[in-house]
């Protein structure tokens, strides 16, 4: 009878020790310890707790809870893969212009445009130009962490002014500077041979007549590592034409841009 009581007390004591609250400190090697708190919290009970201090997790819980957390950390606490994110812009521009002019000059009539020293003239001018507008930006990142690349310049902007007072009219220009920037923010997540990327991309640059071209794109892409993924495309055409006495002209401007992204695994 005494032996049965002793055995029962020993079993009860072992159960109490197993359920007793313990404190353990675990070193985290691959990421900030605070980023793991939300993932670990569901594994502990209401009387247990987990906190972060620099690169360490401080866990207060039962032995079973601590063992479950250690098992989970063996999968989570691994060095994040290094990635290379590339964003490229493939663009083309074209301009075509046709200008036809004519003129006649007699003693009584002058019509259109006449070349100096002649009584009549006909002129035609045709211009066609094509150009490329390509660019590539790249930045290294860690799997699961955001990366940013941004470049820009300060562009002078001129504004005319006129002052009328008691003295002669004063005219001039004021110079101000506007900052333009191009780049992107990307958050890659690798799963097997595929990658999901959240990205925000923008480009701003000076155009003509004091104007600025501004373009933005924000989306989520998914594809294979090393594969170029289409982020978006932009295109547009502008036409001008006019007819006056002695002159007829037509101008056409076209622009096409395509944005692409890919993620390469460095290791």
pLDDT band, residue 9 (cuts 50/70/90): very low
Q: Do 109 and 211 belong together in one domain?
A: yes
Q: CB-based contacts of 97: which residues, under 8 Å, 6+ apart?
A: 125, 126, 127, 128, 249, 250, 251, 252
pLDDT value at 7 more than 60:
no
Sign of the Cα pseudo-torsion (82, 186, 136, 225, in order) = positive
pLDDT value at 25 more than 70:
yes
Q: Do 124 and 42 belong together in one domain?
A: no
Q: Do 72 and 90 belong together in one domain?
A: no
Q: Do 71 and 153 belong together in one domain?
A: no
Residues 247, 101 contacting (CB under 8 angstroms): yes
Final residue before a domain boundary, out of 27, 56, 76: 76
Give the DSSP letter of residue 79: P
Final residue before a domain boundary, out of 20, 47, 76: 76
DSSP helix/strand/coil, 136: strand
Give the DSSP letter of residue 46: T
CATH number of the domain that 64 lies in? 3.30.1370.120
| pLDDT tens for each residue of 140-161 | 998 888 888 877 667 777 777 6
Residues 36, 73 contacting (CB under 8 angstroms): yes
Work out the mean pLDDT of the chain and round it to a whole number. Answer: 76
Provide the residue range defining the domain that includes 119. 83-265
Q: Do 223 and 253 belong together in one domain?
A: yes
Q: Do 137 and 250 belong together in one domain?
A: yes
> Is the model more confident about 255 or about 191?
191
pLDDT band, residue 264 (cuts 50/70/90): very high
- pLDDT average, residue stretch 202-214: 70
Final residue before a domain boundary, out of 13, 41, 76: 76
Percent of the chain with pLDDT over 90: 21
CA dihedral 48, 50, 51, 56 (to 10 degrees): 130
Q: Do 169 and 62 belong together in one domain?
A: no
Q: Do 105 and 69 belong together in one domain?
A: no
pLDDT number for residue 234: 67
Predicted TM-score (pTM) of the model is 0.54
Number of H helices, E strands in the chain: 3, 13
């Amino acid at each position: 009878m005494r032996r049965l009581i002793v055995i029962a007390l020993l079993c009860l004591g072992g159960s109490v020790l197993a359920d007793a609250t313990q404190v353990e400190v675990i070193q985290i090697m691959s990421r900030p310890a605070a980023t793991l708190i939300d993932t670990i919290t569901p594994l502990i009970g209401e009387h247990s707790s987990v906190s972060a201090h620099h690169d360490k997790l401080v866990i207060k819980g039962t032995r079973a809870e601590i063992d479950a957390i250690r098992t989970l950390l063996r999968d989570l606490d691994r060095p994040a893969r290094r990635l290379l994110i590339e964003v490229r812009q493939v663009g083309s521009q074209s301009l075509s212009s046709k200008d036809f002019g004519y003129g006649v000059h007699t003693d009584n009539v002058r019509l259109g445009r006449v070349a100096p020293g002649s009584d009549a003239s006909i002129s035609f001018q045709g211009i066609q130009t094509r150009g490329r507008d390509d660019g590539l930006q790249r930045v290294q990142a860690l799997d699961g962490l955001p990366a940013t690349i941004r470049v820009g310049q300060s562009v002078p902007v001129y504004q005319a002014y006129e002052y009328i007072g008691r003295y002669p009219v004063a005219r001039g220009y004021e110079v101000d500077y506007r900052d333009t920037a191009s780049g992107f923010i990307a958050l890659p997540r690798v799963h097997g041979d595929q990658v999901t990327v959240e990205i925000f991309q923008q480009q701003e640059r000076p155009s003509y007549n004091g104007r600025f071209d501004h373009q933005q794109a924000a989306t989520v892409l998914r594809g294979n590592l090393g594969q170029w993924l289409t982020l978006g495309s932009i295109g547009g055409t502008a036409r001008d034409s006019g007819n006056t006495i002695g002159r007829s002209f037509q101008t056409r401007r076209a622009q096409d841009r395509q944005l692409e992204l890919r993620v390469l695994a460095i290791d």
